[in-house]
Amino acid sequence: MTKQIKFGTDGWRGRIAEEYTFDSVRRVAQGFATFMQQQGLAEKGVIVGHDMRFQAEYFASAAAEVMAANGIKVWLTDGATPTPTISYSVVARQAGGAINITASHNPPVDCGFKVRDPGGGAIPPADLLKIEAAIPDIDAVKRMRLGDAMTDGLITKFDAAPDYIAQLQRLVDLEPLKEAGFNVLVDCMWGNGAGWFPRLLGGGRTQITEVHNERNPIFPKMLRPEPIPPNVDDGLSYVTKIGADIAIINDGDADRVGFSDEHGNFMDQLRVYGLMGYYMLEVRGERGPIVKTISTTKMLNKLGQIYDVPVYETGVGFKYIAPKMVEVAAMIGGEESGGYAFRGHVPERDGILAGLYMLDMMARTGKTPSQLLQALFDLVGPHYYDRIDTAFDQERKTEIQQNVANAHPDSIAGLKVTDIVTIDGRQFIMEDGGWLLIRFSGTEPIIRVYCETTHEDKVDDILDAGMRLAGLRD
């Protein structure tokens, strides 16, 4: 029996040569082709791109061949391309959607298959189910050779960069950043972000130094290309060596981003999202709704109260965030993983634009990253965050789910539990406004335990309580 393919938090991912094979990629592409035909989008064509993972360009060609065999015009990127660039190409080419061959931050043994809608955003869960239902056995997949499809005009290779760069220039004035005299370290994590900041900001007083900027699909010196510790540790060691003012760290497909301050201290993703909200509201003076997953910072809720803007919370993943951003015309949307999207752009994580916005905040305020973080804390108070990811015996999944579902603690780490939220996993809201969240990953066979609190000395105790509630510790 052919194995059923399911989409997770963002697309379908699997181990290369085990679940993720050329035949399985072709099957998913056929499902997406059928979906586009059912939705009346096939005539608009599709963007197909890829990252720098093992065989990614060949998997992308296989997907493009299937789309072409279904009579759908394909614009195939001419090389590894950042996810936000691929997403913006949908809008620039007025295409019906996109296929992106990438596993984002997953370990090097994995690859993935992301899909995007006509607005360049993630496809909502109800439509993902339709795509899954349309995925056939391999015998029903339509195919044609890449060369024949190019000769027939069904596949055209193109450079996605010019349209995307023009869009960035509309969103942020690059000239002051070029002349700001910043010393910027960029950790490309062996991925698609390589070369972009020198290209965008080179030629002025600002200096850009890249590390891990070549293709290396085993991602050495890190467990995976995810911009969090310990994966960032090697890159951040260069901050003090070169006297950098900031480090910008893009994940493998450059849709996510991490930062360090001028001292080489990593700034966690929740604090960064708080800073992005502060930048939009205080520095740029903009107003509009904020969309956030339940796994990210309550500092945004406090900013929403201070600046009188609504804050909407969703489940984890841009398949929830993107539709909500479109629905409410959000100013900003984001999640705990370091993915942030902005109004006037596609409803898609963009680690390159977020990096530019962080530099713009520094240029406009004259403050260092650590000073900006203090300015945020002066408004909303200090917040502390951490997360534990745990692999577990899959035979225990039902037991763990029941443990979590049955948990009704009166207090956690000495803090009274005031509410329980079940949008995605189980989140315990505590009296200080902090929270503990327990949920299964949608991209990997692991369980995540997260917390945010205003009590620095309680972070470890809160996480330990979460592990105990799930039955993962005695």
Tell me the one-letter amino acid at 78: D
Q: Judge contact between 293 and 320, C-beta under 8 A.
A: yes
Q: What burial class does residue 32 get, using C-beta atoms within 10 Å of its C-beta: 0-12 exposed, 13-18 middle, 19+ buried?
A: buried
| Alpha-carbon gap, residue 362 to 357, rounded angstroms | 9
Tell me the one-letter amino acid at 184: V
Most distant CA pair in the chain: distance in Å?
69
Q: Judge contact between 258 and 338, C-beta under 8 A.
A: yes
Token pair of 462, please? 């809160």
Q: Is the peptide bond before 323 cis (omega within 30 degrees of 0)?
A: no
Name the residue among 409, 446, 400 with its Cα closest to residue 431: 409
Predicted local distance difference test score (pLDDT) of residue 226: 95
Q: What is the pLDDT of residues 289-321, one digit of tens each?
A: 999 999 999 999 999 999 999 999 999 989 999
Q: Judge contact between 73 and 158, C-beta under 8 A.
A: no
| Alpha-carbon gap, residue 393 to 447, rounded angstroms | 11
Q: Within the chain, which residues score under 70 in pLDDT?
A: 1
Q: How far apart are the first and last CA of the chain?
A: 40
Q: Which DSSP state fits 144? A: -
Token pair of 365, please? 């305020």
Ordered domains of the chain (ranges, CATH): 12-163 (3.40.120.10), 172-380 (3.40.120.10), 384-469 (3.30.310.50)
Token pair of 407, please? 């948990």
φ and ψ at residue 316, rounded to 5 degrees = -80, 130
| Alpha-carbon gap, residue 196 to 42, rounded angstroms | 32
* Angle (CA) 157 218 104, round 5°: 55
Grouping H, G, I as helix, E, B as strand and the rest as coil, residue 33 is helix
Predicted local distance difference test score (pLDDT) of residue 249: 98
Q: What is the pLDDT of residues 45-91, one digit of tens each?
A: 999 999 999 999 999 999 999 999 999 999 999 999 999 999 999 99
Q: Judge contact between 54 and 163, C-beta under 8 A.
A: no
Report CA-CA distances (Å) from 224 to 228, 229, 435, 436.
Answer: 10, 10, 27, 25
| Alpha-carbon gap, residue 186 to 347, rounded angstroms | 24
| Alpha-carbon gap, residue 196 to 173, rounded angstroms | 16
Token pair of 19, please? 């679940």
Produce one character per residue of 359-380: b if its CB has 16 or more CB atoms within 10 Å, e if not.
bbbbbeeeeebeebbebbeeeb
Q: Which DSSP state fits 280? A: I
| Alpha-carbon gap, residue 89 to 118, rounded angstroms | 10
Token pair of 306, please? 């201070």
| Alpha-carbon gap, residue 426 to 423, rounded angstroms | 7
Report the residue count for the chain: 474
Q: What is the pLDDT of residues 347-360, one digit of tens each?
A: 999 999 999 999 99
Percent of the chain with pLDDT over 70: 100
Token pair of 31, please? 């499902």
DSSP notation for 316-371? SSHHHHHHHHHHHT-SEEE-TTS-EEETTS-SS--HHHHHHHHHHHHHHH---HHH
Half-sphere exposure of 37 (CA within 13 A, CB side): 14
